Amino acid sequence: MRILIAEDERKVAAHIRNTLRQHGFTVDVVHRGDEALEMAQLAPYDTLVLDVMMPGRDGLSVLRLLRERRITTPILLLTARGEVSERVEGLRLGADDYLAKPFALEELVARVEALTRRASGRGLTVLQTADLVMNLVSREVTRAGRRIELHPREYALLECLLQSPGRVLTRAQIIERVWDYHFDTGTNVVDVYVQRLRRKIDDDFEPKLLQTVRGIGYVLRPSG
């Protein structure tokens, strides 16, 4: 999942970016409203986090222009003032949620996760293939009822695959969704993490689920 953070306070932006990355998100950061407007029109983001008070253009102006241009990406507004009138204006302009500063980073993560689920049509809080189950709220993963502990990047990789069960994803598609850069043909990072994930979700279970499609990529589906 790819998130754009528009926040002019650089330390706040860095904390948000690092926390979201730890939870498996791909994150871009800008510090001006005009930059946020440009980025949101150029790249397909799953959620935008906009600070209301920014140089260049304020967050409400960016929100209004995006909605006028029929860009429907979910938007979470950050406001330092917390005024009712400002929140109402933001919601009327098309914001999907708001969070008043100061806020707990874990609450921001939870709100971003909820917005991305809603936007991708995943109203359900559970993803499942065979007996492999991922709870998107508790972030718990189980196979045949047995809990599986995953590194945040392993979790993000599995979520990516579970969102497209039975569909072959190329290495380029995976790395752009799960990591913070475009595909580099010289890296084997996808293969390394697939092997780590396979050991955890397949080695002790049948049927095997994480399949390699030679020359193309990977797919999550029962073998046989």
pTM value > 0.85 = no
Dump pLDDT digits (tens) for 120-176.
654 456 788 999 998 877 789 999 999 999 998 899 899 889 877 788 888 888 887
Side chain identity at 127, as an amino acid letter? L
Dump pLDDT digits (tens) for 58-89.
999 999 999 998 888 899 999 876 567 777 88
**pLDDT attached to residue 61:** 93
Gap between the Cα atoms of 41 and 54, Å rounded: 18
Percentage of the chain exceeding pLDDT 90 = 45
Three-state DSSP state, 101: coil
Map out the domains of the chain with their CATH numbers. Answer: 2-119 (3.40.50.2300), 126-220 (1.10.10.10)
Q: Quickly count: other Cβ atoms within 10 Å of residue 209's Cβ.
A: 22
